[in-house]
Amino acid sequence: MTDISHIEKPRSQWADVWSQFKTHKGAVAGLTVFVTLILFVTIGPFIWTVDPTYINPNAAEMIRTRNKPPSWQFPLGTDQLGRDMLARMMKGGQVSIAVGLVAMAISILLGTLVGVMAGYFKRLDGPLMRLTDLFLALPLLPLLLVMVMLFRDPLARAMGPEAGTFLLIVFAIGVTSWMQAARIVRGDVLALKEREFVLAARSIGTPSRRMILRHILPNVVSPIMVSATLGIASAIITESALSFLGLGFPPDFPTWGRLLFDGVDYIQQYPERVMWPGIAISLTVLSVNYIGDGLRDALDPRIRGR
Amino acid sequence: MLTFTIRRLLMAIPTLLFISLVIFLLVDFAPGSPMSQIPLTVPPEVRLKIIEAMGANDPLFVRYLLWLKQFFWVEPLVLFDTLFGTSHAHGMQRIVSWQSRSPVMDIIWQRLPQTLSVVGSAYVIGVLIALPIGIYSAYRQYSWFDQLGTFIAMIGFSVPTFFTGVVLILVFSVNLGWFPSIYDTSLRVTDWESFLKQVKQMAMPVAVLALYNAAQISRYMRSSMLDNLAQDYVRTARAKGMAERVVVLKHVLRNSLIPVVTVIALGIPTIFGGAIITEQVFKVNGLGALLINAIHGSDLPMVQTLTFIFAVLIVMFNLIADVLYGMLDPRIRYD
Amino acid sequence: MKLKTALLGAAATLAFAPAAFAERGADGNVKVLYSQAVSIMNAYLSSGTKDVEVGSLVLEPLAGFDNEGNVIPRLVTEIPSVENGGISEDLTTITWKLTPGLLWSDGTPVTAADAVFSYEYCTHPEGGCAQAARYEGIEKVEAVDELTVKITWTAPKPNPFTAFVGATSPILQAAQFANCLGTAAPTCTEQNFKPVGTGPFMVTDFKVNDVVELAANPNYRDAAKPAFATMTVKGGGDAAGAARAVMETGEFDYAWNTQINPELQSQMEAGGKGVFVSAFGTLVERIEMNLTNPSPDLPEGERSTAKHPHPFLSDIRVRQALSKAIDRNLLVEVGYGNAGRATCNLVPAPALYASPNTDCIEQDMEGAKALLDEAGWTVGANGIREKDGKPLKILYQTSVNAVRQDFQALVKGWWNELGVDVELKSIDGGVYFGGDPGSPDTFQKFYADVEMYANNFDGTDPEPYLAQYLCDKAPKPENGWQGENVNRFCDPAYDAMVAELATTRDMDKRGEIAIRLNEMLTKDSYVIVPLVDRGRLSAHSNTLGGVVLNTWDSELWNASDWFRIK
């Protein structure tokens, strides 16, 4: 598998990681699915140029095109107002994937930062963990409502309504979901700190920054990966919950979470309408999970060497 | 470890007081008011009178101090009275909900049984399923069992409970008629028949929640086991000729439990918090439904009390988790 | 042979009219599902519909309304009128005669003193009574004798059927609530959960916001009723779940307010386990136009106030065009089905007060476009109309609710067709209807150009409802943004006519004035754009008989007549 013949060319670490990643079947499949999904939501709207919020203003026409099953004209059918589901899935996916990834990144970054700091520096442990307790205890709904009240209008004015709403949503989700990752990372760091290799590194005077980056972080990658995958799923669902507080995007703006929620009302008559967003969310989460699996294996020098 | 525990317990008091203040300020500051529950047919003058009678117009710190007194003095006294038949708390104002005008603690006691039986057993079942699945999945990484487990776990986590709940109701209540779609909180288990009824009505909400919990915990268990299986000490232990069973279930498992303990400890307080959506779908009317109703109605005394009890549990279980870390890995020291 | 036919006939009558011969408690248990759970049984401490209605099973007023809006006696021998001398000629007093021999569920007699006490209970200045409006304008309530209650009004009262009439002003037992006046009201938990009443049922177990268990009242005035020995009122969940429990799984006999999409309605009905029943009252879903400028560029405290008229909605032609572009029948079909009908009126009922106007029902897109052209709004480059370089852009807000979001999307589509740019916004109901002056998102503050919600009035007299649109009822910073005139509508002629209505005693004349007032707000000015007259939709199983839906009083108004169809 390894290219021993190219030994004269020193290979970079990332090329190594990539070649190891490629051998992981699940990861490759996951990556393919994920890229396909991204293409579907980004390039898709340029090929399928139907407006996702278009409702036929002619009442008779609209009645005729509502609640349609999949057909050539509407590949995924239409909803109760005659809006094209394929276009809505594409448009919705843009937001859902973006929100899922960014909110997850914020929460993982915050969680890892707090967790590592608390686990590594004894002085910070108390205050940071009490802060975590505080955030865990705060009731989510009032907290979100307060955030909307304070930040929605200023953000919308500064960045335009869409960008402002996006920022508010990912920030709101990120800020209210980092605590679990922080507790997990801290627990692992507490144990790692007492391991022989860390003691050895410390005894030769390695500065804290390098200790954390080179020795601690690589060893807490796997729980972080798990948190990240689970985080995407909950961020996509939470986004739809937020729109019920008036925190989310305007009500006619589709997202996967909202399509799923709206679809549940029609599950008996038109089960496909709830299937599409359900499948899309599950596929996203599954593919990210496999990519995460592959990445973890590829990043682990012990496995890579094998 | 003992001094650490005592120190942490002492620390918890100011922490919790601070948390209670923050919660109080937050809930009070949040937009929305108890008036949202009053129909629009009620004129504004009457609305103002209602709000005044609730005491919602008193200055903030007066209400906070009153709540503190009621929570830490009156309510324990009431509890003491009911336990020992005394009447120390006679005539004292208890914490009263704005929505129902009845003592908050009484309602919480009323809701505990169904919350504990549904959400609690779902959690226990979830953990019991998740641990073996996680362990075996990691041990046989990339086997068909692992792949299937991953698949179900990921679907289970990404499909929200408002969806799975409705699907279960449609299949098992509407089409098959096996289980009731509505939870009967007045059911008393007295004999075999009523027990069976209780099991039947618990089946669907417990299944929905257990799947969700198991999905999450099994992922952490699996990844942590994988990390440890690759460690040098495992090779050493095997080389020593230890039985595979002992290696995996004693050495590897014990070292892999730290993140799992964290997740479980974080999850136990949420049992008390209830499962808002699942409770709503199956009309369990547990603590989750109580909290969300109170939040929607801006029932400040109720939200404050529930959230504060929740905070106490969080602080307590995180402390327990910290103590457990030390037991699982004696190298972890806190002093 | 003849005898046999006669016997068969008699048997058939027996079989078809089990209620007439049933004895109290013969039909076992009846299960009722409220998607909003009951918090309290005392209507004076909570005005939530669910609390008032379930409370009405136990606590009764002197008189109620039937399903046609007529006043019917409950605890009295007859309805007072000027003809029978119950109402004085000058309309300043009304005298009620209690039925002799009435007993509370605990066996003690019902007396006029109980009614006087109920009045005192609700009008206590520190009690925070939710139904205080029912007792407005009363000078005194006195017990003339054991069975006679006399109410004296401060001024002639054309509609005296407010106090002690309808589920929102029931009679409490003085003996039970004696220590619950004023500030003590909320502390009387036991009394508020298990009141002693005169209704067909009494509470045996009360779980807050969860379930109420009731049993037949042994002292109910009709010895043969109720047919059910016990009743269970479960709460929680949502409308779809409630409908399902009656229509599909058959676990419950009656579900309250099962507002689900019309298609699901017909599918559930096809299952054959139950039926939906609907009735129309005065609830109207409407779009309200903001006559003041909500622009965020204005300083706080001046936004949406009379200081700044709206840049374009103050032009009636724009408002009319927006109304013309809406196809109300389609809205009904998408959102409500049989439980709604298109309307152009703010007051859709009772017939006496309802305007015959239907000019808005027909959608008229071309007419709407012509109006906008006439008003000087020309179609710009991107299809959006503009005038003096300013685009015609509307912010349209409402509360979070699946049907309302569908309506928003549909209306947006039509307005886009007109060349109007529309931004939609949905707000959590708790915030939107909460009236918190600190929040920018309340419907009273109205920081948007148009907003949508539904409202109705209590009882059958629209006078207080129409009086909501007086100039001085506009929400503004000075009154803490409280007030019902959310449009900031202000017309001296309207104010004068409301004053005239308040002093008019002749019913036909009252009807005329109310219709005029209604039209001044709707078809004359398009300040309020009514969309749908929303009916009440509930479901009951095929085995539950005697259900008559009533929108003028408690929905459970005739629960004493319910019976099991065997």
CATH number at residue A226: 1.10.3720.10
**How confident is residue C1, by pLDDT bands cut at 50, 70 and 90?**
very low
CA distance C339 to chain B (A): 20
Q: Is A57 in contact with C413 (Cβ distance < 8 A)?
A: yes
In contact, B234 and B247? CB cutoff 8 Å: yes
* C-beta of residue A259 within 8 angstroms of C-beta of residue A249: no
Q: To probe the interface with A, which of B13, B16, B21, B154 has the most A CB atoms within 10 Å?
A: B154
Is residue A8 scored above 60 in pLDDT? no
- The pLDDT of residue A244: 66
For the sheet containing C93-97, what is the strand order? C93-97, C148-153, C138-145
Residue A118 pLDDT grade (very low, low, confident, very high; cuts 50, 70, 90): very high
**Contact list, A245 vs chain C (CB under 8 Å):** 400, 428, 431
Closest alpha carbon within chain B to A262: B163
Strands annotated E in A117-164: none
* Binary contact (A266, C263; C-beta < 8 A): yes
Residues of C with CB under 8 A from a CB of A: 240, 260-261, 263-264, 267, 296, 327, 329-330, 333-334, 363, 365, 400, 402, 405-406, 408-410, 412-414, 416-417, 423-428, 431-432, 438-441
Q: What is the pLDDT of residue A302?
A: 65
Residue of B nearest to A185 (CA): B259
What DSSP letter does each residue of C71-86 carry, written as one string?
EEESSBSS---TTTTS
Mean pLDDT over C39-44 rounds to: 89
Residue C437 — very low, low, confident or very high, per pLDDT cuts 50/70/90?
A: confident
What does the pLDDT average to over C513-520? 93
What is the percentage of chain A residues whose pLDDT exceeds 70? 93
Give the separation between CA B34 and CA B299, rounded to whole angstroms. 6
B17 contact A CB<8A: no
Domain enclosing residue A240, as ranges: 17-44+78-298
Any CB–CB contact under 8 A between B29 and chain A? yes
CB-CB under 8 Å, A183 with B318: yes
A52 is a domain residue: no
Specify which residues C141 forms β-bridges with.
C151
pLDDT of residue C2 exceeding 50: no
Partner residue facing B23 (CB), from A138, A226, A282: A138
Check whether C27 has a pLDDT greater than 60. yes
Token pair, residue C371, equals 């109006």
Low-confidence ranges of chain B (pLDDT < 50): none
Are C165 and C64 contacting, i.e. CB atoms less than 8 angstroms apart?
Answer: yes
Q: Give me the architecture of the C36-200+259-273+543-564 domain, per CATH.
A: Alpha-Beta Complex (3.90)
Question: Taking the domains of chain B in order of start, what are their residue ranges?
Answer: 108-328
How many CB pairs below 8 Å do chains A and B form together?
A: 155
Which chain C residues have a beta carbon less than 8 Å from that of B41? 47, 455-458
β C528-541/C254-256 pair status: antiparallel
Nearest CA distance, C125 vs chain B (angstrom): 8
Residue C43 contacts residue C170 (beta carbons within 8 Å): yes
Q: Do A222 and B223 touch (CB under 8 A)?
A: yes
Helix pair angle (B121-139, B253-273), 10° resolution: 150
Q: Does B289 touch chain A (CB under 8 A)?
A: no
Q: Is domain C280-535 annotated with CATH 3.10.105.10?
A: yes
Distance CA B259, CA B134 (A): 13
Give Rg (Cα) of chain C. Answer: 26
Contact C436 B182 (CB under 8 A): no
Work out the pLDDT band at C14, boundaries 50, 70, 90: very low
> Token pair of C51, please?
């609390």
Q: What residues of A are in contact with residue C248 (Cβ under 8 Å)?
A: none
Nearest CA in chain B to C168: B42
Nearest CB neighbour to C39, from listed B36, B48, B100: B100
| A278/chain B closest Cα distance in angstroms | 6
**DSSP codes joined into one string, C192-231:** HHS---SSSEEEEEEETTTEEEEEE-TT-SSTT--S-SEE
Contacts of C406 in chain A (CB under 8 A): 80-81
In this predicted model, what pLDDT tens digit does every residue of C247-269 receive, in sequence order? 988 889 999 988 888 888 888 88
Q: Does A145 touch chain C (CB under 8 A)?
A: yes
Residues of A in contact with B157 (CB under 8 A): 230, 233-234, 285
Closest Cα partner for A102 from A173, A176, A170? A170
pLDDT one-digit tens code per residue, C57-81 = 999 999 999 988 889 999 999 999 9
ipTM of the shown complex: 0.85
Q: What percent of chain C has pLDDT over 70?
A: 96
pLDDT reading at C178 higher than 60: yes
Comparison of pLDDT for B36 and C1, the residue scoring more: B36
Largest alpha-carbon pair distance within chain B? 83
In whole numbers, what is the pLDDT of chain A averaged over residues?
A: 84
Q: Where are the domains of chain C?
A: 36-200+259-273+543-564, 280-535
Average of pLDDT values for A74-89? 87
Q: Which residue of C has its CA nearest to B104?
A: C208
Tokens of B119: 């959400």
DSSP letter string over C131-198?
TGGGGTTEEEEEEEETTEEEEEESS--S---STTBSTTSPPPPHHHHTT-SGGGGGG-HHHHHS---S
Residue C302 has pLDDT above 50, yes or no: yes
CA dihedral C109, C110, C111, C117 (to 10 degrees): 130
Question: B211 to chain C nearest CA, in Å?
Answer: 21
pLDDT of res. C18? 45
Tokens of A33: 């699915």
Question: Which among A149, A191, A282 has the least Cβ separation from residue B258?
Answer: A191
- Please give the pLDDT value at position C8: 46
What pLDDT sits at residue C46? 80
Which chains border A (3 or more CB–CB pairs < 8 Å)?
A: B, C
Tokens of C228: 């059910």
User: With an 8 Å Cβ cutoff, are A149 and B30 in contact?
Assistant: yes
Q: Is B90 on the interface with A (CB under 8 A)?
A: no
Q: Give the list of residues 6+ apart from residue C451 with CB closer than 8 angstroms, or none.
A: C287, C288, C290, C396, C397, C398, C443, C486
Question: Are the Cβ atoms of C49 and B51 closer than 8 angstroms?
Answer: no
Contacts of C261 in chain A (CB under 8 A): 80, 265-266
DSSP state of A206: -
The structural domain count of chain A equals: 1
Query: For tokens 């067709």, what's the residue?
Result: C417
Is A305's pLDDT higher than 80? no
Nearest chain C CA: its distance from A63 CA (Å): 8
Identify all chain B residues contacting A190, using CB atoms and an 8 Å cutoff: 258, 325, 329, 332
> For residue C33, what is the enclosing H or E element?
strand C29-34
Please give the Cα distance from A120 to A140 (Å, whole number).
29
Reported as a pLDDT band with limits 50, 70 and 90, residue C6 is: very low
Nearest C-alpha of chain B: how many angstroms from A193? 8
Closest-CA distance, B262 to chain A, in angstroms, reads 6
Residue of A nearest to B325 (CA): A187
Query: Residue C11 has what pLDDT?
Result: 45
Which of B150, B129, B127 minimizes the C-alpha distance to B140? B150
SS3 content of chain C, % helix, strand, coil (to 5): 30, 20, 50
Single-letter residue type at C269: E
All partners of chain B with 3 or more CB pairs under 8 angstroms: A, C
Find which of B33, B52, B173 to mutate to test the C interface (most C CBs within 10 Å of its CB): B33
Helix H or strand E encompassing C29: strand C29-34
Average pLDDT over residues A94-117: 92
Q: How confident is the model at residue A7 (pLDDT cuts 50, 70, 90)?
A: low
Burial (Cβ within 10 Å: 0-12, 13-18, ≥19) of residue B238: middle
Lowest mean pLDDT among A52-66, A239-253, B73-87: A239-253
Residue of B74, B95, B101, B161 to mutate for C, most C C-beta atoms under 10 A: B101
Whether residues A138 and B26 touch (CB distance < 8 A) is answered with: yes
Q: Above 70 in pLDDT, residue C557?
A: yes
Give dist(CA B137, CA A51) in Å, integer: 45
Which positions in chain C touch B46 (Cβ < 8 Å)? 129-133
- C16 pLDDT more than 60: no
Mean pLDDT of chain C: 88
According to CATH, the superfamily of the domain at B108-328 is MetI-like (1.10.3720.10)
